[in-house]
Every structure is written in C-alpha cells, then in structure tokens.
Structure 1
Amino acid sequence: MRTGSEPVTARSPLRLRFLLSLWGLLWAGFGTTVFALLARPGWAAACGVLFVVAAVDLVLVVRHLRQGPHWQPGRDVPPYEPDHGERRR
C-alpha cells in the first residue's frame, strides 16, 4: 500500500528475488540429489526442505509479478492515504 511517504524512485526487488529463488531452487535440488546418492539422509532432507521453501517463494514471486502495478507501483501510480476503516463522526 502506498502512503506517500516512500521515495519516488523506490522499486520492488521482486525480479532480484525471482533470480535468487531460482538460484536457490537449482542448488537445493542439486544438493538433495547429490546427498541422496551419497547416502547422507540428514543433509538430503535439509536440502529438500530448502528446495520446498525456494519453490514456494518462487511461486509467490511469480504471482506478485503477474499482478502488475499493484505490487510494483510506478511513477504513474499516485500515493493514497491508507484505509483506517470506517470513520465515525
């Protein structure tokens, strides 16, 4: 939500987060495979958990990227006051 107090040039780091999630997904998958082949179940499980976390993060980032300016407001999206609920007079 934009409140008008953030810098005009502020941008969301979703594209960087996408790349880092993809990188983590690849390495966690590689680690899970290698440790499973080396009969190291503890390390394979740890890499498997990291794989799942990276996959969920990647799905959320892609979802937010596809939602467009709602998640990445540009210069053409004016700031607005946050909704504080119904105001009583």
Structure 2
Amino acid sequence: MRTGNEPATARSPLRLRCGLAAWGLAWAVTGTVLFALIGHPGWAVACGVLTAVIAVDLSLVIRHIRQGPHYQPGRDVPPYRPVSERPAPGERRAPVEHRRGP
C-alpha cells in the first residue's frame, strides 16, 4: 500500500542482492566440494542444500532484474486508502458511527 511518504530517490536493491547471492553461491559451492573431498558428508549435504537455495534465489533475482522497471506513481499522486475502506463502484457508504466502550 502506498502511504505517500516513500523516498523520492528510492532505488531497487536487486543488483546488490544479485551480487551477494553470487558471492554466497561461490562460497556454498566451494564448501560443498571441499567438505565432500575431506570426508564430511553431513557438512557437504548442508552446503549442497544451501547451494540449491541460493541458486533459486539468484535465478529469481535475475528474473526480476530482466523484467525491468515497473510503474511507480509520482509525487503528484496522493496516497490512497486501503481497498477495505473504499466503497464499491456506484455505491455510497453511510458514515460510520464509532462506539465507545461499554
């Protein structure tokens, strides 16, 4: 939901996340190979699972980067109410009376 107080110069963290995921993928693959070579199968499996998770994350980040920028409203667009507070099209809502405690 848009609140109207978003930073005007906000930037997507996808490129940073992509770099960190690539760095983590390199370390996880290295850990998997080294633990397998020195005979620690439990640690090798743990690093292998971590490698799979990081690879999925990296592929999703790359997919989002390739999708390109999406529409973001400018400063002249006022914040809007949540959907639950909006009347249905063509319907007028009566004023809500708020009750105080018992």
Shift in Å at residue 5 of structure 1? 2.3
- 1:9 and 1:84 map into 2 onto residues whose CA distance is 27
The higher-RCO structure (CA 8 Å, 6+ apart) is 1
Partner in structure 2 of residue 60 of structure 1: 60
1:38 corresponds in structure 2 to 38
The aligned counterpart of 1:78 is 74
Rg (Cα) greater in structure: 2
What is the CA RMSD across the aligned residues, in angstroms? 2.3
C-alpha distance in 1 between matches for 2:81 and 2:67: 20
Amino acid at match of 2:32: T
How many residue pairs get aligned? The number is 85
Q: 1:29 to 1:82 in 2, by over 3 A?
A: farther
Where in structure 1 are there 5+ consecutive unaligned residues?
Answer: none
Please state if 1:9 is matched with 2:5: no
Distance (whole Å) between structure 2 residues aligned to residue 3 and residue 67 of structure 1: 25
Please list every run of 5 or more consecutive structure 2 residues that lacks an aligned counterpart in the other structure: 93-102
Richer in helix (by share): 1
The amino acid that maps onto 1:33 is V
Query: Is the alpha carbon distance of 1:58 and 1:42 closer, same or farther for their aligned partners in structure 2, counting shifts above 3 Å?
Result: same
Shift, 1:3, TM fit: 4.6
- In 2, Cα distance between equivalents of 1:23 and 1:17: 10
